[in-house]
């Protein structure tokens, strides 16, 4: 009763009185005022920039995106030419950036985990070789790695006329790119794609089902083999039943270069490999620290139960280490994505080189172009962070 009376008395006091003596109200008020001042400051800067641009006759408009770009891009995954508008050039740059980030993250994760495990090997030679590699790569700027790999590809591989051939002349390695057969899909290929999606869905369900059975009874199903059969075997079966609805277009030397087929540009290969192996060195140390964070008693207990070393690492150590590995791993994925902006140093046409480079220079719309570039990198970073936070929450230890 007395508590209720005291609360009613406090609420009846004037606002400024409660603002001084009420700690909770005071903290909320300070936060609201701080946020309001911050947004007001940002609005002032933006308005000042817009007014200054209008004063010199520029204004602030994105209408330039619909003007012809008037420049070519050496790697395009969608239809594009010099008559295409700037917004289409921006789309090409976005796709190229996402391609490097996606392939680089996968490659860096695989190589990083392998190096992290080898870093803990009892074999002295393997341990020392991995240690030297990690220390060398981490202590050299990533831009130098990119220039080094690009220089090796451009200066050591032959010109198209003397191309190195592999796999009976279906793969050609040159300093202008790696030429491979290009798949041409027929309409029935949709059935194979649907089978692949069904295989992924079945594997996801079966993995959860097998885990539940293992938790209840201890029985272990061969999840990997069954998942491999569902994701790979089932689509192959559908592919054969539908009459192999796939043909190949091979690259042919015509004049001074190859025509046709699928080409991987030296800039793309150099950037992806350099970023992946640079980031893998950091991931290796994260993996090593995560594994060493797990008590050695866990390994000894698994061995005492008769579990083989490989299964111990797979079933006991790695699942626990992931809770330590995932948070810093997110930062490395973000770093790799943002470091892809260094592509302009070797001429790879990513978002910085297209809309933030040539389009900016041609139109003189530096504010608008930089707004687009900064907004896109912010979006990519938030997307990666959101996914990794979700995965981290999914893998965290659930207490009873």
Distance CA 285, CA 118 (A): 11
State yes or no: pLDDT of 174 exceeds 90: no
Per-residue DSSP letter, 78: S
Q: Which residues pair with 254 in a beta bridge?
A: 257
Query: What six digits make up the tokens of 393?
Result: 């929450």
Tell me the C-alpha to C-alpha distance, in Å, between residue 146 and each of 42, 201, 266.
Answer: 36, 38, 11
| Structure confidence by residue, pLDDT tens digits, 324-355 | 888 899 999 999 999 999 988 898 999 999 99
Q: How many helices (H) and strands (E) does the chain have?
A: 15, 8
Distance CA 207, CA 27 (A): 48
State yes or no: pLDDT of 6 exceeds 60: no
Q: For 93-160+266-395, which CATH class? A: mainly alpha
Residue 7 banded pLDDT, cuts 50, 70, 90: low
Please state, rounded to an integer, the average pLDDT across all residues of the chain.
Answer: 86
pTM, to two decimals: 0.80
Q: Where are the domains of the chain?
A: 2-55, 93-160+266-395
Listed in order, strand segments (DSSP E) in the chain are 164-166, 171-174, 177-180, 182-185, 246-249, 252-254, 257-259, 262-264
**Is the model more confident about 272 or about 159?**
272
State yes or no: pLDDT of 12 exceeds 70: no
Tell me the C-alpha to C-alpha distance, in Å, between residue 398 and each of 151, 297, 317.
Answer: 50, 21, 17
Q: What is the pLDDT of residue 88?
A: 92
Contact call for residues 308 and 138 (beta carbons, < 8 A): no
Burial of 189 (0-12, 13-18, 19+ CB in 10 A): middle
Sequence-distant (6+) residues with CB within 8 A of 337 are 97, 101, 105, 377, 380, 381, 384
Contact call for residues 273 and 151 (beta carbons, < 8 A): no
**Is the model more confident about 193 or about 164?**
193
Between strands 164-166 and 246-249, the pairing is: unpaired
Give the DSSP per-residue string, 172-236: EEETTEEEEPEEEE-TTHHHHHHHHHHHHHHHHHHHHHHHHHHHHH-----HHHHHHIIIIIHHH
Question: What 3-state DSSP class applies to 166?
Answer: strand
User: Of 209-223, 339-353, 365-379, where does mean pLDDT reach its minimum?
Assistant: 209-223
State yes or no: pLDDT of 22 exceeds 60: yes
Reduced 3-state DSSP string for 226-265: HHHHHHHHHHHHHHHHCCCCEEEECCEEECCEEECCEEEC
Distance CA 359, CA 353 (A): 8
Residue 109 banded pLDDT, cuts 50, 70, 90: very high
Query: What six digits make up the tokens of 317?
Result: 């150590």
Q: What is the pLDDT of residue 94?
A: 93
Number of Cβ within a 10 Å radius of residue 143: 14
**Is the model more confident about 90 or about 300?**
90
**Is the model more confident about 216 or about 85?**
85
Q: What is the mean pLDDT of residues 348-366?
A: 89
């Amino acid at each position: 009763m007395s508590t209720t009376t005291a609360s009613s008395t406090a609420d009846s006091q004037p606002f400024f009185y409660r603002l001084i003596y009420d700690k909770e109200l005071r903290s909320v008020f300070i936060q609201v005022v701080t946020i309001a001042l911050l947004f007001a400051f940002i609005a002032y800067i933006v308005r000042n920039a817009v007014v200054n641009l209008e004063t010199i006759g520029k204004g602030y408009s994105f209408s330039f995106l619909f003007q012809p770009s008037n420049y070519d891009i050496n790697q395009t995954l969608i239809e594009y030419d010099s008559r295409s508008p700037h917004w289409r050039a921006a789309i090409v740059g976005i796709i190229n950036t996402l391609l490097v980030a996606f392939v680089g993250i996968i490659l860096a994760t695989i190589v990083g985990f392998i190096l992290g495990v080898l870093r803990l090997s009892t074999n002295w030679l393997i341990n020392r070789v991995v240690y030297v590699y990690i220390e060398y790569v981490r202590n050299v700027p990533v831009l130098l790695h990119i220039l080094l790999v690009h220089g090796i590809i451009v200066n050591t591989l032959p010109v198209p006329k003397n191309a190195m051939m592999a796999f009976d002349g279906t793969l050609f390695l040159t300093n202008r790119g790696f030429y491979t057969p290009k798949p041409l899909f027929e309409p029935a290929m949709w059935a194979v794609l649907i089978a692949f999606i069904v295989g992924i869905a079945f594997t996801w369900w079966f993995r959860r089902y097998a885990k539940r059975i293992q938790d209840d009874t201890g029985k272990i199903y061969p999840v990997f083999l069954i998942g491999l059969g569902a994701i790979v075997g089932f689509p192959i079966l559908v592919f054969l039943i539908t009459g192999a609805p796939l043909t190949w277009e091979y690259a042919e030397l015509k004049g001074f270069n190859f025509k046709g087929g699928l080409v991987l540009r030296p800039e793309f290969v150099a950037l992806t490999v350099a970023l992946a192996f640079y980031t893998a060195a950091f991931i290796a140390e994260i993996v090593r620290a995560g594994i060493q964070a797990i008590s050695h008693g866990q390994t000894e207990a698994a061995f005492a139960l008769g579990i083989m070393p490989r299964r111990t690492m797979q079933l006991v150590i790695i699942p626990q280490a992931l809770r330590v590995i995932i948070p810093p791993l997110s930062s490395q994925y973000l770093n790799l994505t943002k470091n892809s902006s260094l592509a302009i140093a070797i001429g790879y046409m990513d978002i910085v080189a297209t809309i933030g480079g040539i389009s900016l220079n041609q139109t003189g719309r530096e504010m608008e172009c930089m707004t687009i570039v900064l907004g896109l990198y912010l979006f990519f970073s938030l997307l990666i962070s959101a996914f990794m936070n979700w995965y981290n929450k999914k893998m965290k230890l659930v207490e009873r």
